[in-house]
Amino acid sequence: MEDLAVTDWSGRRVLITGATGLVGSWLVPRLLRAGASVVALIRDADPQSELVRSGAIARCTVVSGRLEATEDLERAVVDHETDTVFHLGAQTLVGAAFRSPLATFESNIRGTYQLLEVCRRHADLVRRIVVASSDKAYGEARVLPYTEEMPANGRHPYDVSKSCADLLAQTYAKTYGLRVGIARCGNIFGGGDLNWSRIVPGTIRSALEGRAPVIRSDGLYTRDYLYVADVVHAYIALAQKLDGEGLSGGVFNFGPGTPLSVLQIASQILKIVGREDLTPVILDQARAEIRNQYLDSSKAARVLGWAPAHTLADGLASTVAWYRTFLGAAG
C-alpha cells in the first residue's frame, strides 16, 4: 500500500466506525502510517479481529459504543475533536439481513442518520465524511454495469438498508452542507474477513482443510470482487478530494470491471490453494439476493485518479497466504 498516493494526514483526528471489521482493520494502519490520530468506535471486543491481532488497535483511541446510541457518537466526535469520519460500521451480511431485517435496519439506517446528525451538530469539527456503501444500493438493474447516475433502488432488506443510508447521506450533504462522499464497492475480500458464509473466506478455509467448498447459490451469480487494499485506497482518495468543491453528496463506484461468477471465483481459489481436485457443493438456496451486479468505475478514475492496484490473482494469493497463517494450515 505504500506506493499509493496518500497525502500527509498528520494532525488529523479520524473517527472510524466498524474499525474491527475487514476494511477497518486495513484502513486504520494505513491512516496511522500517514500520521493520523485514529479513534475507533467499537461495539464488541473481538480478539480475532485483524485490528487486534496486528497490534494496531493499541495505537488507537477506542470508544466502546453503538451506532444507534447518540451519546456514544457524541463522545467519539466531541471528546476527541474528530475532523474526518469513515463510516464503515454496518450489518454487512445479506443472509443475516434476510433472517433479521429489523436488526439490519437499526444498524444500517438508524446508525447512519444518528451519526450524520451528530456530525451536523458539530460541523465546526467534522470537515469530511466518507460513507461506505455497496453496489447492493442500486438494487436489481436490467442494464449493467451500474453507473452513478442510476437511482438507489434496493428491494431486499440488506439492499434497502444501503439505499436508505445513501439517501440520508445525500440529504445531509444537500440540505445541511456536510461534506459527504458515498463509496459503493463490489464484493470486498482480503485477509481478516472471518464471516465464513462469504464465498472467498469460506472457500479458502474449506480448501485449506481439504473439504469441498459449499456454494449457497446455483454458482452462476456474478459479482465484482475487489481486494481490500484497493478499497482502502479508494476511501482515502475520496476523503482527500472532499476538501475541494463540488463533490459533496457525490456517489463513486469502485470495482475492477471484470465480474466473475461464484463458481469462477471458487475455481480460482482452489487453483491457488492447490486443491483443484475438490468439487464445490451447490446448494442453490440463495434467497433475497441480486443475480448479476458489476460497477462502472470510470468516474473514480477520472475524478479521483483511482484504479485497482492489484490483480485478482495477486489479491487472492495474498488473501490465501493470510488464511494459511491464521488457520495454521500447512504451507
* Nearest residue to 308 via CA among 264, 244, 253, 262: 253
Cβ neighbours for 145, distance < 8 A, ≥ 6 positions apart: 255, 257, 294, 295, 296
* Nearest residue to 309 via CA among 238, 204, 231: 231
Q: What is the 3-state secondary structure (H, E, C) of 255-323?
A: CCCCCEEHHHHHHHHHHHHCCCCCCCEECCCCCCCCCECCECCHHHHHHHCCCCCCCHHHHHHHHHHHH
| Chain length of the chain | 331
Alpha-carbon span 131 to 198, nearest angstrom: 22
Cα-only R_g, the chain: 19
Alpha-carbon span 156 to 159, nearest angstrom: 5
Look up 235 and say whether it is catalytic.
Answer: no
Bridge partners, residue 61, by sequence: 39
Alpha-carbon span 38 to 20, nearest angstrom: 13
Alpha-carbon span 222 to 228, nearest angstrom: 19
DSSP code of residue 50: H
Cβ neighbours for 135, distance < 8 A, ≥ 6 positions apart: 146, 184, 185, 186, 223, 224, 253, 255, 293, 294, 295
8 Å CB contact between 269 and 321: no
* List 146, 158, 221, 225, catalytic entry: 158
Q: How many CB atoms lie within 10 A of CB 82?
A: 24
Cis amide leading into 101 (omega within 30):
no
Catalytic residue ranges:
158
